[in-house]
Structure formats: structure tokens, C-alpha cells
DNA sequence: GGGTTATGGATAGTGACACTCGCCGCTATC
DNA sequence: GATAGCGGCGAGTGTCACTATCCATAACCC
């Protein structure tokens, strides 16, 4: 297929496809003549992956490029690819190394130890967690950390479900891409579910009967 | 205190503070003379809230303005403020209304019904969930929806913990701000925990003993 | 009391980002 | 052989979160 059809199939403008090719997110089509190329199903798939990471996952183009290069590299272990995804997915908080973040890092290390997680806590995810806990302190909600265990329980449960899914439904070759997609879209899905659960809980606790303004939210 | 000290206390540049005042995120200081104003603790707190929502939560300045206006409005119910937060927090996916998203919406409605959640499924969070599920389908991971129940269980657990925290540790006046902070930072915390749990699970399942490259991830 | 620094207020500029446009000469198709 | 589409490329656009500069005045420091 040529670029016009690819554009229609993937719902991405021709100009944008050209841009992605220039940026190295999408391989160029196979040239059939000096200025004519043909694209295949793989291109459609790749475009959908790009859009999912971009729109739902909120990754930057540069981050997606790194992830995609890693996904395409059959030499890299899944571990490495996931590490790259996490590195790119997690925003960089270059907080000056003050006492608060140090203390938060210690709390993260304790949590990891208590859970028996086989993880170095200076992992990007651990750093992100420390930054979030420090931000919580800053804002005056240090006590929130008390319910961290409930969060960790939930995270373990979700991670277990993710592993089950991967084990049962994902072919070996597709493992890496699945992991990336699952990591990124899983965040979005969980966040949405949490929001729904909050609205429900909030309705039960605070909602007056007959007051349905909490259930649906016009802007 | 004057603007210089406020800047030092909050770790935000003077220029940026002026920008936030202009943008309506931060109330102006109280003028003591035509070109001299004084700021208080509330300003420090507010700045920290802004930075947390911006850096960790990833909200835009415009979104933060709406949230803050809602937080400051004592007339508004917590429900409404949370609705605004959710509206602003969740990215807008203006997907053309194709069959896929319609089908995803139906799946969301079924899930909500099965859970007995008192929520209108055309909630922004429900929409976000539908969009994420549709994106999952696009990318060829429709089966992922099979483990949605595990996600929903985890979300309920977290939401319950959140409510407990609010009930025990948050004063009535601070309820709304806490809810906003908890919603936004809670997402970041859970995502980080999930990532940590993944690394752990991945280590157990795929990691060769002695291969520690999955545990820590240099770029 | 005089020089340096800080301040409030306003306008304009910056750099990153994700596209988007327009052009060229060529090709496919009707 | 007209017309629409194409590949490739450089330049332009709009948004966003600041950042820089300017001015007149105020505070501080010897």
C-alpha cells in the first residue's frame, strides 16, 4: 500500500507519517521506484503503537524513538527494554538533592526491603517514587505514606495479573512490545479505574441521596 | 516575607512566581507600598502545590488554574472539584467516534455494572478507560481486557485506602485540596510501585540468577 | 546620604515540542 | 496527456512554560 492508504488505515495524516519516518519512529517504505514506496501491515501496527504511546501514554517523540529502537533490537533482553521504557516514561525530577528527597529514598528502600522485592531501589521507578513521596511531604501530606502498603499490595496484584497475561497470551517474539504497551497503557487504565472507584466511594460516603452531581461531571 | 524569600523557601524563581501570579495560580502579595508586597505561608504552600501538580502530576498551567479556582471556591462540593480535577487530569482523546470506541464504552458500562459502582459511565474517567481499552485493541492486545478485573480489584483497594486516609487524617477544610493532591500524586505513586513490582516479578520469572542487569537500569 | 541590590509590574523573547506546509520533480492512473 | 498522488526536504506554525529585560521605586548597608 502507498502512503495515502496507510494514512487512512492508521488515522494519521500523511504529513505526520513523513515526520515520523524522518524522526526514526517508523521505518521508510520499500522503494519501488525513485519516488514511490510501498508500506505493509507492520507499518499500520507501528503507527498504532506510536499513537498509543503518544496519546494515551504521554511519551514524547524522543522517548518513543528510544523505546522503539529497543523493541526492534532482538539482542536486547526484555529487562533492558523495560528499563528503557521506565526511564523514558518516568519524568525526570531533577530536584536539588536536599534532605527531603534523601529521606524519601530511605523510605523507599525500606519498603522494597519489607516487600522482599528483588530490585535495586536506585531504579528509576524507585527514584520516581521517592520524588512523589517527597512532593507529598512538601504539600503537607506526609501521613499519606501510612497507606503506602495498601498501594503496594495493589501494585503487586496488578503486576501478578500482568505477568499472567504475558505468560498466557503473548508470543515470545511479541513479548517486548507487549511489555511496553502493557506498562504504558496499564498505567492509564489503572488511573481511570481508580478515578471511577473514587467517584463510587465518594458517592457512598459524601453523596446525598438523590444528589447525582458527583456521578457525572459536566465541566 | 518578600518575593525573594518566597522564591528561596519554595525553590521557585522570582520570574516564575511573577508568572504564576499573572496566570492566576498564585494570589498576589499584599501591597505594603506601591511597589512592595508581602507574602505569607499560604503562598509557600500554594507554590508547593503548584509544583507538585506540575512536575509530578503533569498537569498543565491552565488545568492547575481551574483546579485551584475550584479548590478556593468554598461553595463547590468536593464532588465537583474532583470532577474538575479528573476532567483536567485526564488527557482529551478526541478520537473519531468509530465502532471501536463505542464497543469499548459498552465494555466499560458492563464493568461498572458488574462492580456495582455508582457512577455514570460517561464520566470522563469512564471515557478515558474506554479510550485506553480501544487503544489496546488497536495495538492487538484486546485480550488484555481479560485481566481487567484484577485491575479493578486493585483500584477498589486503593480507593478504599484513600478514603480511610481522608477520613482519619484530613481536616474538613483541607478535604478538597487533599483529594486533588491524593488523586494526582496517588497516580504517580502507584505507577512507580507497579513498575517496581514488575521489575521484581520480571526478575523472578525471566532473570537468570546472577544477571542483575534487570534490577538496575543504566540508560 | 549615596550606592548597590531588591521589588512590583509589564512586555517581549526563548527553547522545546509535535507537528504542518509548501515545494520540487517524478509516477500512477484514468 | 491531464490530474492526482508521491517521496523527500526545509521551513514555518502554534502551544507551552517559562525567562529576560526594562522601569521607577524601595530597602539595605556602609
Q: How far apart are CA A43 and CA A25, in angstroms?
A: 10
Q: What is the torsional sign of CA A84, A85, A86, A92?
A: positive
Element spanning A46, H or E: helix A41-51
Q: Which residue is nearest to nucleotide C18 (CA to C1')?
A: A61
**Choice among A105-119, A204-218, B157-171 with the minimum mean pLDDT:** A204-218
| β-strand pairing of B30-33 with B36-38 | antiparallel
- The answer to whether residue A13 scores a pLDDT higher than 70 is yes
What pLDDT was estimated at residue B97? Answer: 59
What pLDDT was estimated at residue B103? Answer: 93
What pLDDT was estimated at residue A217? Answer: 42
Q: How far apart are CA B204 and CA B215, in angstroms?
A: 11
- The answer to whether residue A32 scores a pLDDT higher than 90 is yes
CB atoms closer than 10 angstroms to residue B40: 13
Is A54 in CB contact (< 8 Å) with chain B? no
**Choice among A85-89, A101-105, A205-209 with the minimum mean pLDDT:** A205-209
Residues of A with Cβ-Cβ distance to B194 under 8 angstroms: 155, 158-159, 186-187, 190
**Choice among A64-73, A136-145, B89-98, B138-147 with the minimum mean pLDDT:** B89-98
Is A142 in CB contact (< 8 Å) with chain B? no
CB A184 within 8 A of CB A84: no
For B178, residues 6+ apart whose C-beta sits below 8 A from its C-beta are: A141, B166, B170
CB proximity A118–strand C (7 Å threshold): no
Task: Determine the residue among B59, B180, B187, B202 to mutate to test chain A binding: the one whose Cβ has the most chain A Cβ atoms within 10 Å.
Answer: B202
Helices B175-206, A124-138: crossing angle, 10 deg rounding = 160
Burial code (b: 16+ CB inside 10 Å, e: under 16) for A46-65 equals bbbbbbbbbbbbebeeebbb
Query: In degrees, to the nearest 5, what angle opens at C-alpha B93 toward C-alphas B88 and B96?
Result: 145
Q: How far apart are CA A176 and CA A183, in angstroms?
A: 11
What pLDDT was estimated at residue B156? Answer: 97
Return the C-alpha cell found at B206: 525471566
Structural domain spans, chain A: 3-87, 91-205
Element spanning B38, H or E: strand B36-38
- pLDDT tens digits for chain B (219 residues)? 999 999 999 999 999 999 999 999 999 999 998 889 999 999 999 999 999 999 988 899 999 999 999 888 877 777 777 777 777 776 666 666 578 889 999 999 999 999 999 998 778 889 899 999 999 999 999 898 899 999 999 999 999 999 999 889 988 888 888 988 999 999 999 999 999 999 898 888 766 544 444 444 443
For B51, residues 6+ apart whose C-beta sits below 8 A from its C-beta are: A135, A138, B10, B11, B12
Q: DSSP state, A123?
A: S
Of B80, B183, B185, the CB nearest to A135: B185
Return the C-alpha cell found at A195: 478515578
- Tell me which of A135 and A78 has the higher pLDDT: A135
Q: Do A188 and B143 touch (CB under 8 A)?
A: no
Q: Do A213 and B77 touch (CB under 8 A)?
A: yes
What pLDDT was estimated at residue A215? Answer: 44
What pLDDT was estimated at residue A20? Answer: 98
What pLDDT was estimated at residue B104? Answer: 93
- Tell me which of B36 and A74 has the higher pLDDT: B36
Q: How far apart are CA A131 and CA A78, in angstroms?
A: 26
What pLDDT was estimated at residue B212? Answer: 45
- The answer to whether residue A108 scores a pLDDT higher than 80 is yes
For A97, residues 6+ apart whose C-beta sits below 8 A from its C-beta are: none
Is A75 in CB contact (< 8 Å) with chain B? no
What pLDDT was estimated at residue A94? Answer: 64
Under DSSP, is residue A92 helix (H, G, I), strand (E, B) or coil? coil
Under DSSP, is residue B179 helix (H, G, I), strand (E, B) or coil? helix
For A107, residues 6+ apart whose C-beta sits below 8 A from its C-beta are: A130, A133, A145
CATH topology of domain A3-87: Multidrug-efflux Transporter Regulator; Chain: A; Domain 2 (1.10.1660)
Residues of B with Cβ-Cβ distance to A194 under 8 angstroms: 155, 158-159, 186-187, 190
Q: Do B128 and A191 touch (CB under 8 A)?
A: yes
Q: DSSP state, B54?
A: I
Q: DSSP state, B37?
A: E
Chain B: nearest CA to A48, how far in angstroms?
6
- The answer to whether residue A202 scores a pLDDT higher than 90 is no
Q: Do B119 and A52 touch (CB under 8 A)?
A: no
What pLDDT was estimated at residue A212? Answer: 45
**Choice among A71-80, A169-178, A203-212 with the minimum mean pLDDT:** A203-212
Amino acid at each position: 500500500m502507498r502512503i495515502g492508504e496507510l494514512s487512512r488505515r492508521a488515522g494519521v495524516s500523511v504529513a505526520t507519517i513523513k515526520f515520523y519516518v524522518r524522526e526514526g519512529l517508523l521505518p521508510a517504505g520499500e522503494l519501488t521506484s525513485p519516488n514511490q514506496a510501498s508500506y505493509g501491515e507492520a507499518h499500520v501496527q507501528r503507527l498504532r503503537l506510536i499513537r498509543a504511546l503518544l496519546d494515551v501514554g504521554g511519551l514524547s517523540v524522543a522517548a518513543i524513538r528510544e523505546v522503539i529502537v529497543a523493541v526492534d533490537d532482538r539482542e536486547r533482553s526484555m529487562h533492558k527494554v523495560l528499563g528503557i521504557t521506565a526511564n523514558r516514561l518516568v519524568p525526570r525530577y531533577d530536584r536539588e538533592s536536599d534532605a527531603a528527597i534523601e529521606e524519601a529514598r530511605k523510605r523507599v528502600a525500606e519498603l522494597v526491603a519489607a516487600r522482599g522485592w528483588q530490585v535495586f531501589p536506585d531504579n528509576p521507578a524507585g527514584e520516581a517514587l521517592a520524588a512523589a513521596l517527597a512532593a507529598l511531604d512538601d504539600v503537607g501530606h506526609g501521613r499519606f505514606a501510612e497507606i503506602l502498603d495498601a498501594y503496594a499490595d495493589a501494585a503487586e496484584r496488578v503486576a501478578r495479573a500482568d505477568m499472567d497475561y504475558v505468560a498466557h497470551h503473548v508470543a515470545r517474539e511479541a513479548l517486548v512490545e507487549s511489555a511496553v504497551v502493557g506498562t504504558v497503557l496499564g498505567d492509564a487504565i489503572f488511573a481511570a479505574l481508580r478515578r471511577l472507584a473514587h467517584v463510587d466511594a465518594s458517592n457512598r460516603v459524601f453523596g446525598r441521596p438523590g444528589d447525582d452531581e458527583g456521578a457525572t461531571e459536566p465541566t
